[in-house]
Chain A
Amino acid sequence: MPVVGDSDPTGTSGRPDGARERNALLFAQFHDRSISQGSRLAARDGLVALHLPLVEHCARRFRNRGEPFEDLVQVGTIGLIKSIDRFEVDRGVEFSTYATPTIIGEIKRHFRDKGWAIRVPRRLQELRMQIGTAAAELTQTLGRSPTPRELAEVIGCSVEDIVEAIESSNAYSTLSLDAADDGGDNGGASMLEIMGFDDEELEQIEIRESIKPLLEALPSREKRILLLRFFKNKTQSEIAAEIGVSQMHVSRLLSRTLDQLRTSLQETV
């Protein structure tokens, strides 16, 4: 396999040009039927690695929409691989121009498929969107909500399909609090029963927040002992060895510090 990468004859050109040359070289190899399959696949891998930042760039546009960034990069990479396989160098288009819509399309498809609480066949998802549009228009013209028959006539499908699509949209909607769980496995548990309650640990937050300033005020040696004992989980003897005092002394310091904290906490609360 020929060496690729720093083959830029000018040597001094900036990184974008280097990347462009590398891109052209890798595509030439990838499409070169005279070299071994392995080399061509290696070139393909190189192309994926080279354009991965493009995927990350596209995925970043969809951050904060409830899907992990890594997942978006992963599906976006599928889009990248597809566009590498389909890209035709002769067309004279920049690869990034060609790949970006494919990558974004793949990410959008991920959202479309994952956005539903229950996976619904795409045919029904699309029909449901058609129904949404048609229903809005019909509601305007009729002055009331349309019937499935009217929707079926406008869209050009059967009444059956309409009912099925409306049924599927249930995957998005919510249930009554009293309604039993449809899950089946533990059937009968109502929504109300499985809803959250106040975490008992909540009270601990208050204590933790009150104790913070008290801890800050401790002398550094005492603070260190507390840290070693309760956070690093060291024994008193280990702490004694580390600080250079006797185990008995550590014990005394610990109990005194804890007593102090307890009293000051009771004063503040």
Chain B
Amino acid sequence: MDKPAPEKADISLRVPADGAYVSVLRTMTAGLAARLDFTVDDIEDLRIAVGEACAMILPEAVAGGDLEAEFRQTPGTLTISVRVPTSGRTEPDYESFAWQVLSTLSAQATASAEDHLLQITFTTDSSLALSRGLPGAGA
């Protein structure tokens, strides 16, 4: 737990596309971010961002579908993707409150709609790494 994260460490998590499992993702995110030396404030932002991203895509998920989350960690940065299977093509709602929050809390957020898939990806930097003037460098 106290060793810095390896260079490449991607994590995938698949849970039922149901609001009840969002808290699992949030907890997972918090655990990873703590490992990457994100500050407590960063972690709180990340938890909210995950919740909002899920709030945007979950209503579009087909019944019985799975919510897939992917966590890509590099020193000082965490990139999270969440996606659900949709029926047909569902455009993300860029006017929604959830998107406003998400884009404010993350360094970069993108949403992509493909046939039968809605995905949101966002990247957050550790403010510790940023304050040291070493974006992307190890803590």
Q: A145-B41, A149-B37, A166-B43 are in contact. Are A178 and B27 (CB under 8 A)?
A: no
| Chain A, range 9-35, C-beta contacts under 8 Å to B | none
Q: Which of B40, B55, B131 has the most CB of A within 10 A?
A: B40
Closest to A163 in B: B34
Q: Are A148 and B2 in contact (CB under 8 A)?
A: no
Beta-carbon contacts of A89-111 to B below 8 Å, as 1s and 0s? 00000000000000000000000
In Å, the complex CA distance between A149 and B34 comes to 7
Q: Which residues of A contact B55 (CB under 8 A)?
A: 176, 178-180, 190
Chain B interface size, as a band, is 35 or more
Q: Are B22 and A182 in contact (CB under 8 A)?
A: yes
Q: Are A144 and B97 in contact (CB under 8 A)?
A: no
In Å, the complex CA distance between A170 and B35 comes to 19
A137 in contact (CB, < 8 A):
no
| Chain B, range 15-34, C-beta contacts under 8 Å to A | 18-20, 22-23, 26-27, 30-31, 34
Q: Are B58 and A180 in contact (CB under 8 A)?
A: yes
Chain A interface size, as a band, is 20 to 34
Q: How far is the CB of A176 from chain B (nearest CB, A)?
A: 6
In Å, the complex CA distance between A179 and B96 comes to 12
A5 in contact (CB, < 8 A):
no
In Å, the complex CA distance between A175 and B54 comes to 12
Q: Are A188 and B43 in contact (CB under 8 A)?
A: no
A46 in contact (CB, < 8 A):
no
B98 in contact (CB, < 8 A):
yes
Q: Main SS of chain B's interface residues?
A: helix
State which of A131, A144, A166, A176 has its C-beta within 8 Å of the C-beta of B51.
Answer: A176
Q: How far is the CB of A173 from chain B (nearest CB, A)?
A: 9
| Chain A, range 97-131, C-beta contacts under 8 Å to B | 131
State which of B2, B19, B42, B126 has its C-beta within 8 Å of the C-beta of A179.
Answer: B19
Closest to B98 in A: A178
Q: Which residues of A contact B22 (CB under 8 A)?
A: 179-180, 182
Q: Which residues of B contact A151 (CB under 8 A)?
A: 40
In Å, the complex CA distance between A170 and B26 comes to 10
Q: Are B19 and A163 in contact (CB under 8 A)?
A: no
Q: Are A159 and B1 in contact (CB under 8 A)?
A: yes
Q: Which residues of A contact B54 (CB under 8 A)?
A: 179-180
Which residues of A approach B to under 8 Å, CB–CB?
Answer: 131, 135, 144-149, 151, 158-160, 162-163, 166-167, 170, 175-184, 187-188, 190
What 6 A-B pairs are tightest by C-beta distance, nearest first?
Answer: A180-B19, A184-B20, A145-B41, A145-B39, A148-B34, A178-B55
A163-B43, A170-B47 known, 8 other contacts, Cβ within 8 Å: A144-B127, A146-B40, A148-B43, A163-B27, A166-B44, A176-B101, A180-B58, A181-B19
